[in-house]
Structure 1
């Protein structure tokens, strides 16, 4: 592997005397004097014990012959021991391609990554976010900062996964070719970016060897020229520390976590971005397409014709995430598709090899046909759209490394010629069919799957522009004003499915979206599900009932979600799949269902319509109760709090009322409130403590994200909703802790 002829430097079976054994002598399997010793033991032998024996050989040698490194193997595991430090690396033989850099001393290179090789995790994402924050604080902001971070992510990954001919090239640039104070780091990165964007044949003859060693990347990732970033010593060290981690073990989850960690919290709330964990992604992708593909793969085992048909089918699939964020749904989907392809191809090649007498000519670039170009995304924010594009390149390379390992032929997809179709734009303003190029590609499609986790923004928290979009999409639907923002993605998905059902009858099409459970409850059901089921002619073919949101990102969303899968009614499977949970944080139990209602229970697609008048004459209407929306400033949560307030301001006693909400009713609690209906300005001016609370209510409402709540800041002494009349009530608690 290192181009060294053994006979030139080392000998086999070197005799050594002066040992503690009965004979006092032994033989070293291989010795390169002053550099390296190798010992092989029987399968299953304890390599720690064998190391002790090998080190006795080392001590018995003349000083100038003693090796610096000792390697031992039992033909299943390899143990590499550094004599001077006593440190050892042990790994399986199958891991040798990933660990080969530990033997760099054979060609006179010192191993740079001396720290333990920890997999990249959420903590690493937080460290990159910290670097982002330091650069931003220094004045390096906006598009340039975001693109710089994405490029550094690509370089960190490339160092540990064989993207370059030599591992650790980026680390070498940082450690050996930048000053410790970081002053020249920005300029050095700019030179590196320019090199990565220049084909080898067009590079200047005088380019330093440490830059010329990098390949041509292309793919537009390094094409744009960025303003130079000014790095501090701390920033440079943070980047060096990040380089010491094992980015080859990166999970798709890291990209979503990194994206959420660096986004501005205010922007994150406005966009409704909530990164989805891999566990939740697979809950959606399983019924959508993975379970079917795994069944097809299983049915093809041992059959060359069916295996080839399966491999021919995979490239005909298309996938769209119309709110892709940093691309987690696309990443996991692509990875799973590549694993299915790789497993089928390995089996097919084995069958072909047997029929051809063991000889199979293999061209990986020809036989591996699943491509990132089958994956489409739309993302409102530029930074996550950049992350998604690069993340899919990295996932592509990860799978090429696996293919190289399993198929025995190295395959690095550089320069980048294929890319996922990630569009930076507003999904509600984009023509999805046009983005998918359905008019041109329809004859070649086998199936189209829409998937994702659209923004979670309540109807009362939408901006005026978002409200305008909703009303335009649901034109003519008089009840659409109550819908949450996510409903727009359901509608556009349903309309796309209907379009495909009418124009491509051979094509399977389905959509599976994660969302809050609010769209399956109460007043949102009629306006949304009338559109999805009746007007767009779809049915629910799979669904997860309410479960607790889980992810690994900092500041994770505390919400309860559902997953709903739609398909055209005319081609939906007869058997539907319904997943229920004994508790929101528990594991799902699957049930077979003939039909699934919009309320995610088994049964017909009946929609409970809004009824303004009681069905029985003379019965009073059921109305929403008094609603404070006061930031807690009109409410007294305990008897002690109330007593203290009245002791300081006894004149407020006439305005104190007992308050009862769902939690009070169900838990037997007692609270009170300031009920200032009918209070005159003159009365209030005599109550400074009351007025202080009123002032705080005004501030809380003015700071609300909801334009409607902001308007109530004009009447801060009153609850926002006051249907109260002095009579006897029948009370119906609406919710408690998110559960009906």
Structure 2
């Protein structure tokens, strides 16, 4: 469940007659507990309460109190030994009249009437696993409003199916934007009279809802009629009290969908909410899903928290503005210059959604401007920062409308805060008809026409704030000397998830620039467009992106082109989780990258420490892998750059499964011990190595083929392989006459070091294994045949894991290993014989520590929560020995490890005579 669904369920519970017996179970169901969980609690199997209540381990202890004894019961819950033993996060007591709860972790409390407890549903969101976004808890109004609007939207479409068709969907979405404005306006005195819109509908529309649509239509018509024209408009007297709004919000058709009694009830309920509490930056990102059939089931999934947005905006330009404000002190002239600079800054989001990046940028800039005004003794001065400086492109028309509306609401709220209610109201209506959000495809539009270079205007003018066809350009005005900051959270879409239209857009941007552009994530196109935009105007761009564009094969495809445009990486935030409002949702792993042709120094590199706190590192350069260092780009190498042994891809069977055997299939061959030793070998791929799966293969050398064919079950398997290969592709046909063998027949005569091709990112070390002579490695792993054991010490090190995690990339969230990209490029300093001997002993200690826990698998041994102490100590010793070879001490963290590895890689490339791809471009 997501937060919106939870709010709806909690609100429904509060409306039902109170049942003390059922309340605890209904409450837990509202927060997403499954029926099987509830059943176990009901039966007492998992209920550990010692007070006759319901106690869910690690979550909550609920007790229904006697009338008037809620406070006393809560105290008993707090003192309960069962609460302590079960590590309950919350305690809750209610008697159906009063309602009290406490968060045992933070000490926060809730005390209200029973009917009011849905107002505090955000307090309990950790029960549903939603713990990552504190702002959601503090903004329960936005979630409640979204929930109500979603119900109304669905109900209206049910009664008006034609309004859901493509031809009228825009009109339906425009209707919802009008409603949102009316709800906000009636609670903030924009309408002359509190609750005017809702009260008029309640009074003038019939209870059976037969004329509700007509009443709303007349109200909309009034708000599109100038006061001077009202005498001829023949408006009903009850509608004449609404102001003239203009701005395109109420222009055009005033048709309204028909309302059922339920829909009318929903509308009135929405109007009863306190819309002064709206947060346009949060509300907009949630409401955009209401109008999308595919996304309505994921309300809140688009939520972007304010702290995450500020991870982009602060280093992009807000930190610099605040620094200049601090430097200005109380100097009137310096403050005036800074205020003029603020008025000329443009913020442009070419994937703006509901405008949350633009809204936050606007609110932060207004706060800085207000401080300037106060220091200059001009408190309450009209703002010089125009909304038209906040540009956006959005594909969906409803989201574009909400973005405009969110900025209008943000401007009004800032005016109230910094100038006062009276001044804000005087200048709010009528709305301006200037248009600054374009509805269109950002990858098909010319960004220079939406946000032109300073000192130039736009060729066309948009007539209507809330209507933006693609052929309309934006505001025609000059902004001489201003800065442009591009920002946002564009759609990611990995190459496998892209549809034909996405590929076509990538092709248009990249085909003439690079090969292998089909491997790029969709978000890469926004970086390339931003880099091209920067050639023509002074700008800096920063986007949230999947971390995959800074890993593996995408780096040599994308970043040489970015750097060739003259752009450099000015700041970056390394990988972190970008969470949403879904229950128990880990979010997607992202990075933030800021690029510009005019970088400030030093560069700023942000990352999270082990406690989740953001730390900042300042450096002279940031490379394409988001590590401090020159911008050499790691490309595949056919041979190791250092002294390490050659690593090869495992053996490919191309056999349809006929040369591979489970243990049962091996036994079914009924071979003698001698035959088994001659024709059957143990084979390892990633799964076999990590999870200890037992698998075998037929391994038949040419000299033993006649003997093998004399064994009927083996002969049949060889026949099946031959048939498959003859009917296969060229590679398969070429080896059809060798159908008793794999495509290649490599194995170690003495030993084999095996490295899985895919492994979990949760492990601190890369899984690897040292196997005896004759072990076969499949094409799902890599092998070093008869290599010195110190090679295993390299592979098992933290240094190597950090390197391959950066340069090899990932498959979903798993590490994807590559011999040519990860092993052959791994920078290793010159090793003395003593170094090799020390590393050999480290490898032996790791293997012995594993052996002590036989038959535990690699997966079990390297579980981050359960790793044996002796194995952890062996790895720590290995890391210490290896890292002292690199720098004479242990590295402080992974950031320092990467910096040293890239420094060494650059030197080794220079010595080898190879030039890193990025050298043709500007240094990043």
TM-score with structure 2 setting the length: 0.53
Contact 1:257–1:554 at 8 Å: present in 2 too? no
Per-residue deviation, residues 470-505 of structure 1 (Å, max 9, x unmatched): 1221123112121010000000011111222xxxxx
Counterpart position of 2:222 = 195
SS of residue in 1 equivalent to 2:420: helix
Counterpart position of 1:177 = 204
Counterpart position of 1:565 = 594
For the pair 1:521 / 2:548, whether they are aligned, the reply is no
Counterpart position of 1:222 = 250
For the pair 1:376 / 2:391, whether they are aligned, the reply is yes
SS of residue in 2 equivalent to 1:217: coil
Counterpart position of 1:66 = none
Structure 1 residue 261 displacement after superposition = 4.7
Residue number among 457, 461, 486 corresponding to 2:497 in the alignment: 461
Structure 1 residue 455 displacement after superposition = 0.5
Contact 1:397–1:412 at 8 Å: present in 2 too? no
Residue number among 482, 490, 509 corresponding to 1:446 in the alignment: 482
Counterpart position of 1:48 = none
Q: 1:284 to 1:663 in 2, by over 3 A?
A: farther
Counterpart position of 2:807 = none
Q: 1:555 to 1:248 in 2, by over 3 A?
A: farther
Tell me whether 598-607 or 163-172 shows the greater mean CA deviation: 163-172
RMSD in angstroms over aligned alpha carbons? Answer: 3.7
SS of residue in 2 equivalent to 1:512: strand
Counterpart position of 1:250 = 278
Residue number among 403, 423, 429 corresponding to 1:414 in the alignment: 429
Counterpart position of 1:135 = 156
Structure 1 residue 207 displacement after superposition = 2.8
Contact 1:659–1:670 at 8 Å: present in 2 too? no
Per-residue deviation, residues 371-410 of structure 1 (Å, max 9, x unmatched): 1100111111112111111111111111121133299775
Contact 1:549–1:561 at 8 Å: present in 2 too? yes
Counterpart position of 1:150 = 177
Contact 1:197–1:223 at 8 Å: present in 2 too? yes
Structure 1 residue 446 displacement after superposition = 1.9
SS of residue in 1 equivalent to 2:760: coil
SS of residue in 2 equivalent to 1:599: coil
Structure 1 residue 183 displacement after superposition = 2.2
Counterpart position of 1:300 = 328
CA distance in 2, matches of 1:574, 1:264: 47
CA distance in 2, matches of 1:430, 1:130: 35
Residue number among 522, 533, 547 corresponding to 1:485 in the alignment: 522
CA distance in 2, matches of 1:332, 1:164: 26
Q: 1:408 to 1:143 in 2, by over 3 A?
A: closer
SS of residue in 2 equivalent to 1:592: strand
Q: How many residues align?
A: 533
Residue number among 103, 128, 147 corresponding to 1:126 in the alignment: 147
CA distance in 2, matches of 1:485, 1:673: 41
Counterpart position of 1:92 = none
Residue number among 525, 529, 540 corresponding to 2:569 in the alignment: 540
Counterpart position of 2:507 = 471
CA distance in 2, matches of 1:324, 1:624: 49
CA distance in 1, matches of 2:587, 2:578: 6
Structure 1 residue 428 displacement after superposition = 0.7
Contact 2:173–2:291 at 8 Å: present in 1 too? no
Structure 1 residue 162 displacement after superposition = 2.2
Structure 1 residue 424 displacement after superposition = 0.8
SS of residue in 2 equivalent to 1:285: helix
Counterpart position of 2:213 = 186
Q: 1:375 to 1:575 in 2, by over 3 A?
A: same
CA distance in 1, matches of 2:347, 2:574: 24
Per-residue deviation, residues 456-480 of structure 1 (Å, max 9, x unmatched): 1011221122112212211231121
Structure 1 residue 187 displacement after superposition = 1.8
Contact 1:373–1:418 at 8 Å: present in 2 too? no
Q: 1:267 to 1:189 in 2, by over 3 A?
A: closer
Counterpart position of 1:429 = 444
Residue number among 182, 185, 188 corresponding to 1:161 in the alignment: 188
Counterpart position of 1:717 = none
Contact 1:404–1:411 at 8 Å: present in 2 too? no
Contact 1:580–1:590 at 8 Å: present in 2 too? yes
Counterpart position of 1:80 = none
TM-score with structure 1 setting the length: 0.65
Tell me whether 196-205 or 333-342 shows the greater mean CA deviation: 196-205
Contact 2:221–2:254 at 8 Å: present in 1 too? no
Q: 1:488 to 1:399 in 2, by over 3 A?
A: same
Structure 1 residue 557 displacement after superposition = 7.8
CA distance in 1, matches of 2:423, 2:239: 29
Structure 1 residue 169 displacement after superposition = 1.0
1:556-595 to 2 correspondences below 5 Å = 558-568=587-597, 571-582=598-609, 586-595=612-621
For the pair 1:596 / 2:622, whether they are aligned, the reply is yes
CA distance in 2, matches of 1:172, 1:247: 15
Residue number among 263, 271, 274 corresponding to 1:235 in the alignment: 263
Contact 1:216–1:415 at 8 Å: present in 2 too? yes
Q: 1:463 to 1:116 in 2, by over 3 A?
A: closer
SS of residue in 2 equivalent to 1:491: helix
For the pair 1:282 / 2:318, whether they are aligned, the reply is no
Counterpart position of 1:51 = none
Residue number among 562, 578, 581 corresponding to 1:552 in the alignment: 581
SS of residue in 1 equivalent to 2:595: strand
Contact 1:514–1:561 at 8 Å: present in 2 too? yes
Structure 1 residue 624 displacement after superposition = 12
SS of residue in 1 equivalent to 2:493: coil
CA distance in 2, matches of 1:163, 1:125: 22
Q: 1:591 to 1:253 in 2, by over 3 A?
A: same
Tell me whether 549-558 or 169-178 shows the greater mean CA deviation: 549-558
